[in-house]
Amino acid sequence: MSSDSDNPLHNIRNIGIMAHIDAGKTTTTERILFYAGFLHKMGEVHDGNAFTDWMEQERERGITITSATVTCVWKDKRINIIDTPGHVDFTAEVERSLRILDGAVGVFCAVGGVEPQSETVWHQADRYHIPRLAYINKIDRIGADYERVVQMIHERLNPNAVPVNIPLGKEEDLEGIVDLISMKLWTFDPLTQGGVMHLEEIPEKHMAEVREKRDALLEAVAEYDDELMMKYLEGEELPEELIRRAIRKGTIYHGFIPVLCGSSLKNKGVQLLLDAICDYLPSPLEVQPCMGMIPGNPEKQCVAPDPKSPFVALAFKVQIDKYVGKLVYVRVYAGTLKKGAMIVNQTNGKRERVGRILQMMSNRKNDLDELHAGDIAALVGTRFLVTGDTITDGQTEIHLSNINFPDAVISIAIEPRTKADQDNLASALERLQEEDPTFKVHVDKDSGQTLISGMGELHLDILVDRMKREFNVSANVGNPQVTYKETISKTVTAEEIFEREMNGKGNFAKVAFRLSPICLDDLEQDQKNRFSIAVTPDKVPQEYWKSIEEAALNALNDGPLISGFVERVHLELIDGAFNPVDSNELAFRIATSLAIGKALREADPVIMEPVMQLTVLSPEDFVGDIISDINSKRGRIEILRQHNQYQQEIIASVPLSELFGYATRVRSLSQGRAIYTLEFKQFEITPPTVQSAVLRRIRGYAE
């Protein structure tokens, strides 16, 4: 695809900043905005005034909760930045951001190295094949070890990660940063908050080490550019521009990871990171083209990033703003959209008019007259758009792939304190669900309690706090409880004949299904169940197949044991019958629902529980006790390795039900010196004794 520099798209960079919590991600974003001239004063996370952390909870807790979108300009390149959360409970914010980005910067702590959440988000980006830079931050801290972190990136993330600059000195003796391409030393003036940079010669005593690092870089990138390869092999002088061109090719097309360093808090190295974003990360013209499907056409269709093509965009986020109402964030893949234009929601077929187009600068807003391919902005005035919808101007029927989010794993009961709170609660739950696809609400059919579900205790804590602050809802909340699911353990068949007169009209349908357990590995990514049809149209007319599929899959939303979602089932329609007079869509839906319900009860249903990946970093003295404790919680030790010179890393799979109160437990076992993170891994079938206990607790009687 062309990358002609005359094309305005060539000068756009849509990037995300991603990291483990406390790696310095938001501080780095703050410096980027300052040096690019967008901010006149730098805010600080620890002072609660970082520009991209605009929510009250973010400023109070010093963490990023929601992804913030900002735009700045550096060297004629317009950089659209999404600052993503670093806490695992807000993985959905990272997922939806990665879906629409062209490039990313992974921020790593020079002391902590590759930490659990940084590893998680890195592999999320792998799924979307996003070109990346690695920025090793905090190189001036005591215990910082740049070489070790580069080695960790090699071992755990990508073996093609190679430094393009290196620190000169370490910890408090950091002199500056060496650019391995220009072979110069950059120093940063503290009196100007690093705004004034000085280019100096590298001290002779460091030249041998620097040349060795430069040779490693040239050897790594020479294979990406034939001209560079020839000059390198022949020992010729290598122009800087040729080296940068090879790095760019390797980064965009071959999975090469340029590694940079700096100290964002001390205002060192961020301008070099900005240069690298412009020099090495792709424009919308250079990434893999967005693909979509047109109904009735089995071939995937390419969406070319051309402002003159039919308009195509993806809604990736919904936010309820107290001043302008519903904001729908979109990434434009093709065409142009003007303010006031009519759009078509290809997901539900609804047409509506765009009232305003806003360029979002964290929580500030600038009105725009139009959007073009490559842009990221927010639409105002649309009522029916939700996250994942494809938007067009009606000239194409293309559907872009949706955004897949992880399942909720933890629930709490919530009840309003007063009648006024009850009315406000319903509104709050509806609006928060619209914003957050991982936030689920349902009413327990046995107890009548309203249960809210999310990705973790912090996630739900933030949501309950938002209900109080933003919607004036005072509510009582219960203790956290695990969200269970169901599956089947044997293959069964079930037949159902529905024959009944309703409203003076006959209804007839006959269906037979085979239900089989299916392994998680045999399902496509993010697929919960599989449906197939093994009958011919003379048995069941094709016009009813879609209704039968919908009814069959809907029947799996209410399992026979605990009314949980049923997953990992292959449903196969194997027989059926109809008559041309009395058969209709409703009859087939009812027959299907009854048949599936009967089959589930006969298929030896079992309960599945969420299993988490537990990562503990601990001094070696306490590792034995921590492992013993994990084993006592039905945990499985997956990895035990050295994390750094001070800590061992334990990675284990542990059922979530065993981990409530784990913060207190691990603090006690390690004298407060171990830290841990939890990340959802998968649902697994519970042992029989655990299943019996779950049934007793949920049903209120012994099995």
- Residues 506-564 have pLDDT tens digits of 999 999 999 999 998 888 877 899 999 999 999 999 999 999 999 999 999 999 999 99
254: phi > 0 → left, psi -120 to 50 → alpha, else beta; which? alpha
Q: Give the pair of three-digit tokens for residue 265.
A: 């808090």
Residue 56 pLDDT exceeds 90: no
Q: Give the pair of three-digit tokens for residue 256.
A: 């090469």
647 to 95, 139, 622: CA distances (angstroms): 30, 19, 10
Residue 47 pLDDT exceeds 90: no
Contact call for residues 311 and 393 (beta carbons, < 8 A): yes
Lowest-confidence region among 52-66, 247-261, 397-411, 479-493: 52-66
Closest CA to 564 of 482, 490, 659, 658: 482
> pLDDT by residue (tens digit) across 609-642?
999 999 999 999 999 999 999 999 999 999 999 9
pLDDT of res. 1:
35
Q: How confident is the model at residue 7 (pLDDT cuts 50, 70, 90)?
A: low
> pLDDT by residue (tens digit) across 465-516?
889 888 888 889 998 889 999 999 999 999 999 999 888 889 999 999 999 9
Q: In what order do the strands lie in the sheet with 103-109?
A: 68-74, 77-83, 12-19, 103-109, 132-137, 257-261, 161-163
SS3 state at 652: strand
Contact call for residues 603 and 542 (beta carbons, < 8 A): no
H and E: helices and strands count for the chain = 16, 38
pLDDT of res. 703:
43
pLDDT of res. 158:
92
pLDDT of res. 599:
98
Q: Give the pair of three-digit tokens for residue 598.
A: 């009967």
Q: What is the mean pLDDT of the chain?
A: 90
Lowest-confidence region among 10-19, 565-574, 671-680: 671-680
pLDDT of res. 84:
82
Residue 62 pLDDT exceeds 80: no
Contact call for residues 408 and 455 (beta carbons, < 8 A): yes
For the whole model, what pTM was predicted? 0.80
> pLDDT by residue (tens digit) across 188-232?
988 888 888 899 999 999 999 999 999 999 999 999 999 999 998
SS3 state at 207: helix
Q: Give the pair of three-digit tokens for residue 144.
A: 């910082």
Domains and CATH numbers, the chain: 8-280 (3.40.50.300), 291-400 (2.40.30.10), 410-482 (3.30.70.870), 486-603 (3.30.230.10), 607-699 (3.30.70.240)
